[in-house]
């Protein structure tokens, strides 16, 4: 238990080194869809410019469960949320709640809800207008009578208390929906791979793709008024920033939100630019926009953006630290178990099982276990994934050492430890290095998943690209990761060749 605490403290120190000390930083989270990214930026810029409070945005933390876990753990101080989600998903209320009722139930948990931003972003189902007209589908009741319609619903909507299960019960749907990422669903319906998707009523793609929003004629969905969910200690830790955020109350209507979403999704305008422009509009400052296209970026601007150095540093640190820790654990452990074939099989089998656990599932389990998001669970997950190749190659390398050489060591009066250190490990070194090389390659790819829990790295671009269905932004995250993997391969190739030449020279 003490060793576990020491490891978490060490990882936390590494995290602080990577991301800076943040005791006096207002940390604002966002979910992984366009509107949440924009609102988080608006909150951060308002607090920073109006109160001179240092802020940090942790973007794209995933669904409600993950971002709420981050709030509980203190990894973030506040984030934009929706009244219906708080009532049904967080407080598990079967009926809508007023803000006062929500605050009464949230206070014992150390949270509060405030700052109604001014618009309702509800859930709805939508389909291609031409198909809806042809099939005479106007309402959800009409859709329930068409069991041949293919539904593609977001993973979160399928699992939510106020999502598919309750909706299908209310309307008697018999379809079995396909689960899709929300950002990819629009591409799927455009290509006619599915017929119906779940949408947010402020999605910019609704009008752009000529979708018909089906009427909720049985009034299943509650209102989802945009609000701020926050930790109660924000009021005492950041009083000036909180006063500045209060000014955003009722400052964004549905039309303005749809327009902001459109700039991000259709014109590829960066979230921080959109937020800055909106705040300038609220304050009455004249903008220098050009038909809403200010800040639109081509691929080179996305690839070599201002965040490249930060993301590279974060990605390198995640990979380097995790592989270093895995090496320090795996090699000594492999040396210990190598003489015992049965124990060796059990330990290698156990580490092999870790490779079968999906990355996101492992990250979710680690968040629940240690109670934090960000680089700490990411480093633990990457370390666990790196153990197998290093340990397996260490055992394989030791197995390649001939018994004759071991006997020669004994004949020279060497102890078992001396034989291991002076004969077996040096001869196994090329194979061990090959294992580390494999672990690095695995970690570079897996580290992109860490962005789903706010750990940064190149995955931050990939996560955002998925949310926006922006292929260029996806590539802007994937290409540097692939280049980093290529560089590591070249370096390890040189290192292995140098070791073999040195051993051959001897």
Rounded CA separation 4/436 (Å) = 24
The percent of residues above 90 in pLDDT, for the chain, comes to 53
Q: Where are the beta strands (DSSP E) in 83-129?
A: 111-114, 123-128
Longest Cα pair distance anywhere in the chain, in angstroms?
91
Q: Which two tokens stand for residue 433?
A: 């290095």
Name the more confident of 128 and 451. 128
CA distances from 418 to 401, 410, 411, 421 (A): 15, 9, 12, 5
State the pLDDT at residue 21: 47
Nearest residue to 246 via CA among 105, 47, 84, 58: 47
Q: What is the 3-state secondary structure (H, E, C) of 307-339?
A: CHHHHHHHHHHHHHHHHHHHHHHHHHHHHHHCC
Residue recorded with tokens 């490990």:
425
Is residue 105 within 8 Å of 229, Cβ to Cβ? Answer: no
End-to-end CA distance of the chain: 46
pLDDT in tens, 162-212: 889 999 999 999 989 998 887 788 889 999 999 999 999 999 889 889 999
The pLDDT of residue 6 is: 52
Prediction pTM value:
0.77
Check if the beta carbon of residue 451 is closer than 8 Å to that of residue 463: yes
Q: Domains of the chain, with CATH numbers?
A: 23-118+224-296 (3.40.190.10), 123-213 (3.40.190.120), 308-505 (1.10.3720.10)
Q: From CA 99, how far away is CA 102, in angstroms rounded?
A: 5
Question: pLDDT tens digit string along 363-408?
Answer: 878 877 887 777 888 999 999 999 999 999 999 988 888 777 777 7
Report the alpha-carbon distance of residue 57 to residue 41 in Å, rounded. Answer: 7
Nearest to 177 by CA among 196, 162, 190: 196
Q: Which of 14, 261, 249, 213 is nearest to 113 (CA)?
A: 249
The pLDDT mean for the chain works out to 87
Q: CA 403: distance to chain centroid?
A: 49
Lowest mean pLDDT among 141-155, 292-306, 340-354: 292-306
Q: From CA 407, how far away is CA 410, in angstroms rounded? A: 5
pLDDT at 79: 97
For 219-244, the pLDDT digits (tens) are 998 889 999 999 999 999 999 999 99
What dihedral do alpha carbons 305, 311, 315, 316 form, nearest 10°? 80
**Residues contacting 164, CB < 8 A, separation 6+:** 153, 157, 158, 177, 198
- The tokens describing 15, both together, are 């995290």
Distant-in-sequence, close-in-space partners of 420: CB < 8 Å, separation ≥ 6: 335
Q: Are 89 and 163 in contact (CB under 8 A)?
A: no
Helix (H) or strand (E) holding 211: strand 211-213
How far, in Å, CA of 221 to CA of 83, rounded?
12
For residue 393, CA distances in Å to 330, 398, 423, 431, 489 come to 10, 8, 17, 6, 17
Phi, psi for 128 (deg, rounded to 5): -60, 130
How high is the pLDDT of residue 22? 59
pLDDT in tens, 91-144: 998 888 999 999 999 999 999 999 999 999 989 999 999 999 999 999 999 999
> Which of 94-103, 354-363, 408-417, 467-476 has the highest mean predicted lDDT (pLDDT)?
94-103
What pLDDT, on a 0 to 100 scale, did the predictor assign at position 306?
A: 83
CB contact at 8 A, 57 and 44: yes
Helix (H) or strand (E) holding 366: helix 359-370
Six-digit token string for 486? 């290529």
Q: Give whole-number Cα distances, 480 to 55, 442, 448, 449, in Å.
A: 27, 15, 11, 15
Strongest mean pLDDT among 93-107, 295-309, 367-381, 441-455: 93-107
């Amino acid at each position: 238990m003490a060793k576990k605490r020491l490891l978490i403290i060490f990882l936390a120190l590494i995290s602080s080194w990577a991301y800076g000390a943040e005791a006096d930083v207002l940390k604002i989270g966002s979910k992984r869809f366009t509107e949440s990214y924009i609102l988080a930026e608006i909150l951060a810029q308002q607090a920073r410019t109006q109160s001179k409070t240092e802020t940090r945005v942790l973007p794209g933390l995933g669904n409600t469960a993950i971002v709420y876990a981050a709030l509980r753990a203190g990894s973030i101080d506040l984030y934009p949320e929706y009244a219906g989600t708080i009532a049904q998903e967080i407080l598990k209320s079967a009926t809508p709640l007023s803000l006062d009722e929500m605050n009464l139930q949230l206070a014992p948990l150390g949270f509060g809800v405030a700052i109604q931003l001014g618009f309702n972003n509800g859930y709805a189902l939508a389909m291609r207008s031409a198909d809806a007209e042809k099939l005479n589908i106007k309402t959800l009741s009409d859709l329930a009578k068409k069991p041949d319609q293919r539904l593609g619903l977001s993973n979160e909507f399928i699992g939510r208390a106020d999502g598919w299960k309750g909706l299908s019960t209310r309307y008697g749907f018999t379809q079995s929906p396909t689960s899709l990422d929300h950002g990819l669903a629009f591409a799927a319906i455009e290509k006619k791979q599915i017929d119906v998707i779940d949408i947010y009523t402020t999605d910019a793609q609704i009008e752009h793709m000529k979708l018909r929003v089906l009427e909720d004629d049985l009034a299943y969905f509650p209102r989802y008024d945009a609000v701020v969910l926050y930790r109660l200690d924000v009021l005492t830790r950041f009083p000036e920033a909180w006063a500045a955020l209060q000014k955003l109350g009722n400052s964004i209507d549905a039309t303005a939100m749809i327009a902001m979403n459109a700039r991000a999704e259709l014109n590829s305008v960066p979230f921080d630019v959109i937020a800055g422009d909106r705040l300038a509009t609220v304050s009455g400052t004249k903008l220098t926009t050009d038909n809403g296209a200010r800040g639109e970026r081509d691929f080179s601007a996305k690839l070599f953006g201002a965040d490249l150095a930060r993301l590279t540093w974060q990605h390198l640190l995640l990979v380097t630290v995790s592989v270093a820790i895995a090496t320090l654990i795996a090699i000594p452990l492999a040396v210990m178990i190598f003489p015992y074939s049965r124990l060796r099989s059990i330990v290698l089998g156990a580490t092999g099982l870790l490779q079968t656990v999906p990355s996101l599932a492992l990250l979710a389990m680690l968040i629940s276990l240690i109670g934090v998001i960000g680089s700490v669970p990411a480093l633990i997950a990457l370390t666990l994934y790196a153990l197998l190749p290093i340990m397996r190659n260490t055992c394989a390398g030791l197995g390649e050492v001939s018994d004759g050489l071991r006997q020669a060591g004994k004949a020279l009066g060497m102890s078992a430890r001396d034989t291991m250190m002076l004969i077996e490990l040096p001869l196994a070194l090329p194979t061990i290095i090959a294992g580390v090389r494999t672990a690095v390659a695995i970690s570079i790819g897996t580290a992109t998943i860490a962005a789903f829990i706010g750990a940064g790295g190149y995955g931050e671009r990939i996560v955002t690209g998925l949310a926006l269905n922006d292929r260029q932004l996806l590539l802007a995250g994937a290409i540097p990761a692939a280049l980093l993997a290529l560089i590591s391969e070249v370096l390890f190739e040189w290192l292995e060749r140098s070791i073999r030449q040195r051993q051959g020279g001897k």
